[in-house]
Structure 1
Amino acid sequence: MSAPLRLMAVHAHPDDESSKGAATMALYRSQGVDVLVCTCTGGERGSILNPKMERPDILENITEVRRLEMEKAREILDVDQQFMGFVDSGLPEDENEALPDGCFALQPVEVAAAPLVAAVRAFKPHVILTYDDDGGYPHPDHIMTNKVSVEAFEAAGDPDRYIGLGEPWQPLKLYYHMGFTRERFEALHQAMTERGIGSPYGDWIARWEDRPQKWEVTTRVRCGEYFETRDLALMAHATQVDPDGFFFVCPRELQQEVWPTEDYHLARSLVDTELPEDDLFAGIHAGEITRATA
């Protein structure tokens, strides 16, 4: 190919890029694909989820701490990264709690999408990764991240929209992360139980009817050999990830054996591809990757 393939991952907060699709990004970087992470907010209102990091000096400087954590994770994953410049909306304790003025989730979609459209036109991705329309889980910033990602996918190639934000570029495929599926956690739960390892997933699986799966998995990227890279990137977000917590309860070797893929739903494609896929770039051939508009 005359130019490298390019992958953009759009996330709500620092740490999301490491908990969703990190091994996929590491795999594609090893193949020479250019990867850009676009982080919509700075995570300013995120709680400290690692009890070992609950210190006054960190709480007082959480914005800078999370930026430094993001830089460490970016280096581990060997990707480029840009902040889109919006302020974390926080996670309300109940549905009636008002979001703070000026936060990301309260922006008009066209305002919130503008920096991402500019990033798409500058980076020229062939594939974009983001969350589904429920945000993967109903955090207001995750839901808005889906909205701006879809908006940017549809609008970045239109010369009549977002004028002045760069030359139009039309991405070819849009995917939703599907890492939290019942099928995956049932497989891990069964494997842990059979090996006599205490599994924390039983109660969660029993309550799965409370969160039915809306989107089918269309694409499984085999990237188990990069789970260690994923885990190291996660641990770089020390305020957000407890090394003794949920993400690390299932041994990595068991994950590599039982479920060595990261999974996605193909939400939009402007190229012909045959489902199921094992490659995010399936259907994107040498003659298509220089196409800048639909």
Structure 2
Amino acid sequence: MSVPEREPLRLMAVHAHPDDESSKGAAATARYAAEGVEVLVVTCTGGERGDILNPSFEVPEGHEFETIEGRRAVRRLEMAKAAEALGVRQQWLGFVDSGLPEGDPLPPLPEGCFALVPLEEAAEPLVRAVREFRPHVITTYDPSGGYPHPDHIKCHDVSFEAFAAAGDPDRYPGTGEPWEPLKLYYNHGFSMNRIRAVHEAVEGAGLESPFGDWVESRDAREIPERPVTTLVPVADWFPNRDAALTAHASQIDPAGFFFAVPRDLEVDVWPWDEYELAESRVPLPERAPGEYEADLFEGVRSEVPA
């Protein structure tokens, strides 16, 4: 008799804007996709208020970048290329970028933007997506958003709400059959442990570190460090991550910050994507301090039926 095939594992990565999926946990999503996990990136907004951050960027022929609609169209082109580089599916929730307010006092957020949408209204399409895709694991941002962008904070809020509510048949009626994800993670793009390790290695190699000022400024502001519970080995998928980053040509400078560390040095010093386990509905082994998970699906693989 043939061995029955196991139900495929499914991972949902929820992000605020197009390009976030390429700078936070990108190599891990590429790894899992390559290993046969079904991976869906959910993007809350269209990135319509993102500025041009790449001095070499040229607006694609037939497009413009001066209006909300024009920027949305360009960012969709970039997102499609990034998803292809990572080997993942991608879905838009359809909300409008809130922008990053600057000034003292801060200006009000734009009317109708994602950050101002009431929680249940903003979470409903994500609950629908969870019930349709049926992920075993969801990744998103911690309650701070990782940094104080209103869309990142709102992305956490709607992700946490969807994780809690998608399995409850009494909540969000009309959005599909209930589905209860098993684990929720917060992705950590730049923990201080990673920054210090890479910073010291770069300087030890006689090179100028891109993290020098950052180490000092983060320490000076006493930014709290959240716990890292999970280190997923992903060095073999750094090329996919880098290709996804450069696909976002309006946002990512190929000569800029994300590419300032030599890749061979990064492979030697920090070959992981970092996560914080926020909730688990499956039993997990206890770990001593300094011990980490190496797999987002730890405890899940044995729960998924054949």
List aligned pairs for 1:18-97, cutoff 5 A: 18-53=22-57, 57-60=64-67, 61-94=70-103, 96-97=106-107
Kept in 1: contact 2:34–2:87 (CA 8 A): no
- 2:232 maps to 221
Kept in 1: contact 2:139–2:184 (CA 8 A): yes
Distance in 1 separating the partners of 2:217 and 2:85: 35
List aligned pairs for 1:161-180, cutoff 5 A: 161-180=171-190
Instruction: Report sequence identity in percent.
Output: 58
Give the paired residue count.
Answer: 290
Deviation of 1:214 (Å) = 3.9
Distance in 1 separating the partners of 2:234 and 2:210: 24
* Pair 1:192–1:249, CA change in 2 (3 A): same
Q: Please give the root-mean-square deviation of Cα atoms over the aligned residues, in Å.
A: 1.5
List aligned pairs for 1:237-248, cutoff 5 A: 237-248=248-259
Deviation of 1:74 (Å) = 0.7
Deviation of 1:29 (Å) = 1.0
Distance in 2 separating the partners of 1:19 and 1:156: 27
Q: Helix, strand or coil: the match of 2:278?
A: strand
Kept in 1: contact 2:127–2:172 (CA 8 A): yes
Residue 160 of structure 1 pairs with residue 170 of structure 2: yes
Kept in 2: contact 1:220–1:277 (CA 8 A): yes
Residue 7 of structure 1 pairs with residue 14 of structure 2: no
Distance in 2 separating the partners of 1:114 and 1:24: 27
Deviations 1:245-286 (A, max 9, x none): 110000111111100000000000001113421100001134
Q: Helix, strand or coil: the match of 2:66?
A: helix
Unaligned 5+ residue runs, structure 1? Answer: none
Deviation of 1:57 (Å) = 3.2
Deviations 1:99-155 (A, max 9, x none): 001100001110000000000000000000000000011100000000000000000
* Pair 1:197–1:226, CA change in 2 (3 A): same
Kept in 1: contact 2:23–2:189 (CA 8 A): no
Q: Helix, strand or coil: the match of 2:226?
A: coil
Deviation of 1:211 (Å) = 4.6
List aligned pairs for 1:183-194, cutoff 5 A: 183-194=193-204
Q: In structure 1, which of residues 280, 289, 292 is the aligned counterpart of residue 304 of structure 2? A: 289
Distance in 2 separating the partners of 1:235 and 1:216: 30
Residue 144 of structure 1 pairs with residue 160 of structure 2: no
Amino acid at match of 2:304: I
Q: Helix, strand or coil: the match of 2:64?
A: helix
The alignment's TM-score, normalised by the length of structure 1, stands at: 0.95
Q: Which moved more, 1:273-282 or 1:36-45?
A: 273-282
Kept in 1: contact 2:137–2:181 (CA 8 A): yes
Q: Which moved more, 1:265-274 or 1:232-241?
A: 265-274
Unaligned 5+ residue runs, structure 2? Answer: none
Residue 135 of structure 1 pairs with residue 145 of structure 2: yes
Q: Helix, strand or coil: the match of 2:273?
A: strand
Q: Which moved more, 1:128-137 or 1:176-185?
A: 176-185
Distance in 2 separating the partners of 1:259 and 1:211: 23
Distance in 2 separating the partners of 1:81 and 1:18: 12
Deviation of 1:163 (Å) = 0.4
Kept in 2: contact 1:228–1:252 (CA 8 A): no
